[in-house]
């Protein structure tokens, strides 16, 4: 089957090769313009790839990582299944839902990403490990394996950390995909946003350390993350704390404790922050009325929404809408 190839690399720092093709039978014609991954060099040792195109017959992406960068990948619009074959021959399969993101360091790894038909909006950031360790000298526990490589430790230590994206991350990615700038201005803007996403991920993992997430079992952490994902996907009509606890099989106190350690606040606080962050996006990106936005983020009326918005941000949603009109 015809395929197209994209290679991300920076001299001898890292190399990632991806070949992608439609994932149906040979008898089906390949349409013009397979989904293009735009590769954007940002600075030495840092680059980004963006895809924001439809593919009607599903997509298969084979990848081969030789010298691994530290990478962040996000898929906003479609679920993906990733199969990885590591240097020792061990195979790992990971299911990524729409709205998941991950940070990884995967030396000498090959595998396949598969996505169903539809609009694929995805973003990947590649940063050479020496550049990453120079920028971020204090790493959270989940990335200590990279620190061991500062001294050119010959033993490669893979890292893989997956989590659901919050609305702040979604907003940053939308800014990247819809970037209005060109030339060097675009490059500088995208570099800043790439570093912002990396900083956000490190902050997320750091909160796990500071909150003592290690005191929770792996199962508890997984259930808390599942509850977080449920909230983000049902933000307009979320389950009660009791119902959410039952849905993920975790008592309310332990679920709140898990949220504090993973996300820096109780279930209620995390939900409120997500609602208001989404509201900002809707105010800036849509023409929906304030009452429509209030309902879409789970507030029963505009007055309650406006009061909560003002308490959280220090100004009213009308001011955000007015600022947008001036641009």
Q: Which DSSP category does 37 fall into?
A: -
Q: 2-57 pLDDT, tens per residue?
A: 445 555 555 567 777 777 665 443 334 434 444 467 889 999 889 999 988 887 88
Q: How far apart are CA 75 and CA 124, in angstroms?
A: 9
Answer yes or no: is pLDDT of 130 > 50: yes
Q: 108-121 pLDDT, tens per residue?
A: 899 998 889 888 88
SS3 60: strand
pLDDT band at 73 (very low <50, low <70, confident <90, very high): very high
Do residue 36 and residue 134 come from a single domain?
yes
Scan for tokens 């009509």, then name that residue: 237
Do residue 102 and residue 131 come from a single domain?
yes
pLDDT band at 262 (very low <50, low <70, confident <90, very high): confident
Q: 206-248 pLDDT, tens per residue?
A: 766 545 444 677 788 888 888 988 988 888 889 999 999 999 9
Q: Write down which residue in 174, 192, 210 finishes a domain.
A: 210
Do residue 202 and residue 225 come from a single domain?
no
Cα dihedral 198, 203, 208, 212 sign: positive
Answer yes or no: is pLDDT of 125 > 80: yes
**What percent of the chain shows pLDDT beyond 90?**
26
Average pLDDT, the chain: 81
pLDDT band at 193 (very low <50, low <70, confident <90, very high): very high
Question: Tokens for 174?
Answer: 């939308």
Exposure b/e, 193-212, CB count within 10 A at least 16 = b: bbbebbebbbebbbbbeebe
pLDDT of residue 33: 44
Q: How many residues does the chain have?
A: 327
pLDDT of residue 21: 60
SS3 62: strand
pLDDT of residue 5: 55
Do residue 143 and residue 238 come from a single domain?
no
Do residue 263 and residue 311 come from a single domain?
yes
Do residue 184 and residue 48 come from a single domain?
yes
pLDDT of residue 198: 93
Scan for tokens 């014609």, then name that residue: 29
Q: How many domains does the chain have?
A: 2
Do residue 285 and residue 184 come from a single domain?
no
- Return all residues near 307 (Cβ < 8 A) that are at least 6 apart: none
Answer yes or no: is pLDDT of 159 > 60: yes
Do residue 163 and residue 269 come from a single domain?
no
Answer yes or no: is pLDDT of 78 > 60: yes
Do residue 99 and residue 232 come from a single domain?
no
SS3 108: coil
Q: Write down which residue in 155, 183, 210 finishes a domain.
A: 210
pLDDT of residue 163: 82
Do residue 248 and residue 114 come from a single domain?
no
Q: Whole-structure pTM over 0.85, yes or no?
A: no
Q: Are strands 14-22 and 4-10 parallel, antiparallel or unpaired?
A: antiparallel
Domain that holds residue 226: 215-326
Distances (CA, A) of 18 to 150, 246, 262: 27, 41, 33
DSSP line for 143-180: GHHHHTTTTT-SS---EEEEEE--HHHHHHHHHHHT--
SS3 285: helix
Do residue 238 and residue 206 come from a single domain?
no
pLDDT of residue 207: 67
Q: Write down which residue in 182, 210, 238 finishes a domain.
A: 210
Q: What is the CATH number of the domain that holds 254?
A: 1.10.10.60
Least confident of 136-140, 142-146, 210-214: 210-214
- Cβ count near 73 (within 10 Å): 20
Do residue 224 and residue 194 come from a single domain?
no
pLDDT of residue 34: 44
- Return all residues near 47 (Cβ < 8 A) that are at least 6 apart: 8, 10, 39, 40, 41, 125, 126
């Amino acid at each position: 089957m015809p395929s197209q190839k994209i290679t991300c690399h920076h001299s001898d720092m890292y190399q990632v090769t991806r070949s992608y093709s439609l994932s149906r039978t040979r008898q089906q014609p390949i349409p013009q313009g397979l989904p293009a991954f735009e590769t954007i060099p940002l600075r030495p040792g840092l680059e980004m790839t963006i895809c924001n195109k439809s593919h009607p017959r599903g997509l298969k992406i084979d990848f081969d990582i030789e010298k691994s960068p530290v990478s962040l990948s996000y898929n906003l619009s479609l679920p993906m299944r990733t199969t990885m074959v590591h240097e020792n021959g061990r195979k790992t399969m990971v299911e990524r839902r729409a709205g998941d993101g991950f940070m990884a360091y995967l030396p000498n790894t090959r595998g396949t990403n598969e996505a169903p038909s539809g609009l694929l909006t995805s973003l990947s950031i590649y940063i050479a490990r020496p550049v990453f360790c120079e920028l971020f000298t204090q790493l959270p526990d989940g990335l200590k394996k990279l620190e061991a490589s500062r001294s050119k430790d010959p033993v490669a230590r893979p890292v893989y950390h997956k989590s659901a994206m919050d609305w702040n991350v979604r907003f940053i990615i939308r800014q990247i995909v819809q970037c209005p700038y060109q030339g060097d201005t675009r490059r500088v803007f995208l570099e800043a946003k790439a570093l912002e996403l990396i900083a956000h991920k490190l902050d997320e993992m750091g909160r796990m350390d500071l909150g003592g997430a290690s005191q929770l079992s792996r199962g508890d952490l997984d259930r808390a993350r599942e509850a977080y994902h449920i909230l983000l996907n049902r933000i307009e009509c979320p389950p009660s704390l009791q119902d959410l606890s039952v849905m993920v099989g975790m008592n309310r106190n332990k679920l709140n404790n898990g949220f504090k350690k993973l996300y820096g606040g109780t279930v209620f606080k995390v939900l409120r922050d997500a609602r208001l962050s989404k509201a900002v996006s809707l105010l800036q990106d849509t023409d929906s009325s304030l009452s429509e936005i209030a309902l879409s983020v789970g507030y029963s009326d505009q007055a309650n929404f406006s009061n909560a918005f003002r308490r959280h941000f220090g100004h009213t949603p009308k001011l955000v809408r007015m600022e947008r009109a001036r641009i």
